[in-house]
Structure 1
């Protein structure tokens, strides 16, 4: 590689980092502020009260509603803090904690992540149906499975303590403390994007990306996801929807990935993303790995396989009207 090519690659990399970071920050910053306002106005508590009756359908006490409501609007870390402060670890079985954790894993941080999916080209209503509906269905199936087999019915044993992870105190924080935490979080996101895009660029240059695509092609073919979306999909599955979705936004706008591939990829990430970090987090609450990881992966693959095949039978007019947003316009199927 000569000096001219190296400079060109470096410029492309910097441009990509700025583009992806700017796109994500334009979504995340206003949404974080809106959620803070909603929290201060008691919106999370109200949502928890609305969800309380639903919890019995998945074998959970009504008090679990506030835990899931918090997770839906913020993130898994905050949901874990509410779980602790509510003293729920003292009244649930391992099966119940696994059910609640499975729902938290599929549906969390919706204001930010649903907006990212929308920018990538998927209608907001579809994302919410997939994530909330998928979480409820998955929670119900886990509840039925564990109850029928009389599995994991022993009292839950809490592993995680807030101080052990350096988590924020459950006590109310000032606006300045909250703002500082958000800035630190955004800096961390930017750092991860820099490392992620640099790694992907290196893998592309040395040809390793093609090997990954070849190895995963049978699975993604089953899910009807094209090879152009393979690497980005795997980024989302392992690191999180925000990063995978951010890359999908860039590639979709450039016309590099077909609309159906974007839809199938984002649908998969809606149900199964950040399988390393998030799985470890809920296991610290006492969730069993069967529901936190293996059954979640199986459930996601089955649902997306069925959904992708159904999508093939729909007309382009139907897809444009009900499934896709107007953001993705350059690449035609």
Structure 2
């Protein structure tokens, strides 16, 4: 790969990274504002039916809502003092592993022409179904709890201080996204330029996007996915397959380890997320393939 071939890759990767950044920074700050004013805590009572369905203590409602709107670190910070059993930690991990950071990640999926309604409902109901399934697992499938110092929320003297801190954290995340997306897309284009790989380019596009998102997460993997989508390297069905899979199963290593250190079962979390991701991604492709042509419109 020479300079003339690298230049288009750099342009595409930076353009994709910029799209993701425009979504990450404002929504990241907005989520911090929600927490600063305590708005999430005020509506946590609405989630007590959910905790009951998952057989979690009602106090876990704030952990769930924080995870859904903010991130998994926020969820763990609220759940750590509750003295959850390994089984309860596993249930929480399965649900929130699928249904978390909805503000940011749903916006990213929308860039791929995947509707916000589909993204939110898919992740919520699949997370609920998978988490509810864990309630039927016998207790002896889970080990003893592991005690670990959970992350704590910083306290801010003023709104301006919070805003500055949030902006700094968002910028750091943004820089990580830019660097990683650029490296991955340039590497992917290099792989596709190889003569032996060229005939399998379609498979490379799909597989690479899938692996990137599954390991690194939607925030990072979406940059690659957006690039391939806008470059017409992936069909609509492939985008829906990968998008659906990643909404259910992404950042599988980091997300799982965050809960395993508190005693959650790694194999239950990983196996359930992979199975549900495969089933629902295959189902959406089947739907797109076999529905009547005249009824075909974006979900």
TM-score, normalising length from structure 2?
A: 0.89
Contact 1:282–1:292 at 8 Å: present in 2 too? Answer: no
Q: State the 1:156 CA deviation.
A: 2.5
Residues 1:267 and 2:244 are matched in the alignment: yes
CA distance in 1, matches of 2:11, 2:205: 20
Match of 1:130 in 2: 122
Residues 1:177 and 2:177 are matched in the alignment: no
Match of 1:64 in 2: 60
Relative distance call for 1:248 and 1:52 in structure 2 (3 A) is: same
Q: State the 1:282 CA deviation.
A: 1.8
Match of 2:97 in 1: 105
CA distance in 1, matches of 2:41, 2:169: 22
Relative distance call for 1:14 and 1:189 in structure 2 (3 A) is: same
Relative distance call for 1:150 and 1:291 in structure 2 (3 A) is: same
CA distance in 2, matches of 1:97, 1:293: 14
Match of 2:177 in 1: 189
Contact 1:95–1:151 at 8 Å: present in 2 too? Answer: no
Match of 2:256 in 1: 279
Relative distance call for 1:207 and 1:45 in structure 2 (3 A) is: farther
Listed as ranges, the matches of 1:144-163 within 5 Å are: 144=136, 146=137, 149-152=138-141, 156-158=145-147, 160-162=148-150
Residues 1:200 and 2:188 are matched in the alignment: yes
Residues 1:52 and 2:41 are matched in the alignment: no
Structure 1 stretch displaced more, 39-48 or 269-278: 39-48
Q: State the 1:273 CA deviation.
A: 0.8
Match of 2:108 in 1: 116
Q: State the 1:246 CA deviation.
A: 2.3
Contact 2:87–2:139 at 8 Å: present in 1 too? Answer: no
Consecutive unaligned residues of structure 2, counting only runs of 5 or more, are none
Relative distance call for 1:112 and 1:170 in structure 2 (3 A) is: same
For residues 256-305 of structure 1, give each alpha carbon's deviation from its aligned partner in whole angstroms, at most 9, with x where no partner exists.
32212211210111101111221222212221012221222122222322
Match of 1:11 in 2: 7
Relative distance call for 1:200 and 1:303 in structure 2 (3 A) is: same
**Number of residue pairs the alignment of both structures matches:** 294
Relative distance call for 1:296 and 1:42 in structure 2 (3 A) is: same
Consecutive unaligned residues of structure 1, counting only runs of 5 or more, are 215-224, 324-333
CA distance in 2, matches of 1:104, 1:288: 14
Counterpart selection for 2:77 from 75, 81, 87 = 81
Secondary structure of the structure 2 residue equivalent to 1:181: helix
CA distance in 2, matches of 1:35, 1:15: 30
Q: State the 1:227 CA deviation.
A: 6.0
CA distance in 2, matches of 1:14, 1:287: 41
For residues 105-150 of structure 1, give each alpha carbon's deviation from its aligned partner in whole angstroms, at most 9, with x where no partner exists.
1011111110111111111100011111111011001112x1xx34
Quote the RMSD (CA, aligned, Å): 2.4
Match of 1:331 in 2: none
Contact 2:213–2:250 at 8 Å: present in 1 too? Answer: yes
